[in-house]
Amino acid sequence: MKDLTYPAWIKLKGLLFLLIGIAAAILLFPDNPNSRTAGLLVAAIWSFCRFYYFAFYVIEKYVDPSYTFSGLIPFAKYLFRRR
């Protein structure tokens, strides 16, 4: 699969990710509408965002500038190969 380079498609992809996240939260919360569910949902979203930042920015900028990642699977391979 080749890289996505057309700016309009990249923006559409980002918008679709946002819409999927919003839809998932809206569909998940009514099953158990309380503050604990809302807090756990916020914590999960925040931690996944921070992990993504770690995987694609922190590793490249501070740990190994010679390696860039194209996805989470290559990142996982990188982590396990280095040990």
Cα-based torsion angle of the residue sequence 69, 70, 72, 75 in order, rounded to the nearest 10 degrees: -30
pLDDT at 75 over 80: yes
Report pLDDT for 82.
59
Answer whether residue 1 shows pLDDT above 70. Answer: no
Report domain extents, the chain.
Answer: 1-31, 43-83
- Give pLDDT tens digits for 2-33: 777 888 888 898 899 899 989 988 888 888 89
The predicted-structure confidence for 28-67, as pLDDT tens digits, reads as follows 888 889 999 889 999 999 999 998 888 888 888 888 888 7
